[in-house]
Structure 1
Amino acid sequence: MKILAVDTSSRICGVCVSDGGHPICELCLTSGQTHSRHLVDTISRALAAADLALDEIDGFAVTRGPGSFTGLRIGISTVKGLAYASGKPLAGISSLEALAQQVVGDVAERICAVIDARKNEVYYAVYRVEQGRLVEDTVPRVGPPETIPKSNARTLFVGDGVILYEDVIRRRHRENATLAPPEWNRIRVSSVTRLAAFRLERGESDPVDTMAPFYIRKSDAELARERTMK
C-alpha cells in the first residue's frame, strides 16, 4: 500500500512516501516561513523523487497533534483536501505515538514521548510495547515535566521535551530513565507512514470531513475569548 504522509506539528515540515510501510522518499525542511509557503511544493518533490503520480497513492496520513497549532491546521487541511479529492482513505496519527514508534526496537519496557508545549509544560504519553506494537498506558496529557508518572519499569524518554527537561527527568526517574539519542528527538515522517500502514491495511481510517487537530489544551486565542465572556 502506497501512503503519502505529512508532519507539520513542529517547525520542521516533513513529507514521506512509503510502500508497504517502507519509506521510498522522505523530505524534511526547516524554514522560518510558515508551512503553507512550501508544503505543497514539498509534496510534489517527494512524489517526483518516488517516481509516483498523486493518483497512484493508496492512502494518506498526517500528524494530528499535539504540536504547533498553526502547523497542525496547515498540514491537516492540506492532506484532507488531497484525500477528499482523490477519494482515498486518511489516517490521523498522534505526534506522541509517532515519536514513540521510532524507538520501538529498543529494549525498554516503557516509552514516554515528550514534546515541548512551552509555558514550562510538556505534552506527554506513556506506551508499552507488546509484540512490536505500541499500547497506550497513559493518555496524552499536558503539564509540567514533574507530572510525568513514575514507574519501577525501565522507561525510554524521547522527544524535544527530553532535551529541555533532561535534569528534571533524570532527577525524578533516576536509574529507570534512559534518554533516546538526540537524532530521534524529532518526528521522522517515516514513522507516521508505518503507523498509518498498520491502520489503513486493516481498513481503519478517519472520516475526512470531521477529522480535526488534537491540541490537548486550548489556544491563547480561545482562552482570551473565554476571559472576555466572563
Structure 2
Amino acid sequence: MNILALDTSGETASVAILRDETVLGEIFLDLGRNHSEILLPSIEHLLTATGLELMAIDVFACTVGPGSFTGIRIGVGTIKGLALAADRPVVGLSALEVLAMDAMGFQRKICPMIDARREQVYAGLYADNGSEGLICIIPEQLIKANEFLELIEGETVFTGTGAVKYRDIIQRGLTGKGFFVVGHRNRVHASTVGVLAGREALAGGLTDAVKLVPLYLRRSEAEEKMDRQC
C-alpha cells in the first residue's frame, strides 16, 4: 500500500511517501507558515524521487487539526484535491494523536500539547498500550495548560509546542513526574501520519475525499469578532 501523507497544522510542513510502514522519502520544512508555496513542489519532488506517479498512491492522508486555521485548510484542501484527482480514499488524523504516537515507548501516559496562543493549548491525554497502540484517556480540548495539568495524575511524557512553551509550568505542577521528548519530536512528522493512516486503512478507517473536514477546537477570530459585534 502506497501512502502519501502530509502535515501543515503548525509552523512546520512535512510530506512523506510510505510503502506500508516503510518510509520511502520525507521532506520536513521549518520555514514559517508559507505552506501554500512549498507544499505542492515538495509533493512533486517526492513523487519524482521515489519514482511514483500520483495514480500509484493508494491512500492519501493528512492531519485535520487542531492547529493553525490557515495551515489546516491548506493541508486538507490539498489532500482532498489530490485524492479526488486520483479517485482514492483518504484518512484524516488528529495532530495530537500523531504527536502522541511519536512519544510512545516510555511506558508512561502521554500528553501532547500544541500551543494555541492566548495562554491556551490544544491538549489530550493518552495511555501507551504498547503494540496495541494508543488509548485516549482525556479527549482533546482547548484549555489553559495549568488547568489541564489538574486533570493529570502520575508520570507523564509531554510533547508538542505547548509542552515546550509551558515546560516550567508543567515541571512545577507535576514535580518529578513530568518528562519531555527531545526537541525535533515536538513537531508533527508526515511519516508518522503515514504510519497511522496505513493502520487506519487496514482497520477500515478510510474516508471518501469529499467527506474530509478540518478539526477546529476553537472558532476563528472572524467568528469571535462577529459574536462581539452582535
Indicate the TM-score class for this superposition, using the shorter chain for normalisation. over 0.9
Distance apart, 1:114 and its partner CA: 0.5
Q: % of aligned pairs identical?
A: 35
Distance apart, 1:190 and its partner CA: 1.0
Contact kept? 2:88, 2:209, Cα under 8 Å: no
Aligned length in residues: 228
Q: Structure 2 vs 1, CA of residues 186 and 32 (structure 1 numbering), >3 Å: closer, same or farther?
A: closer
**What are the residue-to-residue correspondences of 1:38-49 with 2, within 5 Å?**
38-49=38-49
Contact kept? 2:112, 2:123, Cα under 8 Å: yes
Partner Cα distance (2:157, 2:130) in 1:
17
Output the amino acid matched with 1:122. Answer: V
Which digits, 9 at most, give the CA deviation of each residue in 1:130-160, with x for residues without a partner?
2430111111111111111443331100111
Aligned residue in 1 for 2:212: 211
Aligned residue in 1 for 2:195: 194
Contact kept? 1:157, 1:178, Cα under 8 Å: yes
Structure 2's unaligned 5+ residue stretches are none
Contact kept? 1:150, 1:173, Cα under 8 Å: no
Partner Cα distance (1:140, 1:45) in 2:
34
Distance apart, 1:92 and its partner CA: 0.3
Distance apart, 1:104 and its partner CA: 1.2
Contact kept? 2:10, 2:33, Cα under 8 Å: no
Partner Cα distance (2:96, 2:89) in 1:
22
Aligned residue in 2 for 1:14: 14
SS at 2:3 equivalent: strand
**What are the residue-to-residue correspondences of 1:133-172 with 2, within 5 Å?**
133-148=133-148, 149-172=150-173
**What are the residue-to-residue correspondences of 1:61-140 with 2, within 5 Å?**
61-108=61-108, 110-132=109-131, 133-140=133-140
Output the amino acid matched with 1:119. Answer: R
Aligned residue in 2 for 1:52: 52
SS at 2:175 equivalent: helix
Structure 1's unaligned 5+ residue stretches are none
Contact kept? 2:110, 2:127, Cα under 8 Å: yes
SS at 2:73 equivalent: helix
Distance apart, 1:48 and its partner CA: 1.5
CA RMSD of aligned residues (A): 1.3
Contact kept? 1:35, 1:74, Cα under 8 Å: yes
Farther-moved stretch of structure 1 (206-215 vs 56-65) = 206-215
Partner Cα distance (1:204, 1:123) in 2:
24
State the TM-score, normalized to the length of structure 2.
Answer: 0.95
Distance apart, 1:173 and its partner CA: 1.2
- Find out whether 1:178 has 2:173 as its counterpart: no
Partner Cα distance (2:19, 2:94) in 1:
20
SS at 1:191 equivalent: helix
Partner Cα distance (2:27, 2:79) in 1:
16
Q: Structure 2 vs 1, CA of residues 32 and 158 (structure 1 numbering), >3 Å: closer, same or farther?
A: closer
Partner Cα distance (1:28, 1:225) in 2:
36
State the TM-score, normalized to the length of structure 1.
Answer: 0.95
Which digits, 9 at most, give the CA deviation of each residue in 1:167-206, with x for residues without a partner?
1001111122111111211111111011101001222112
Distance apart, 1:99 and its partner CA: 0.4
Partner Cα distance (2:38, 2:177) in 1:
41
Partner Cα distance (2:153, 2:30) in 1:
38
Structure 1 residue ranges, 4+ long, deviating more than 4 angstroms after superposition: none
Partner Cα distance (1:32, 1:97) in 2:
22
- Find out whether 1:221 has 2:222 as its counterpart: yes
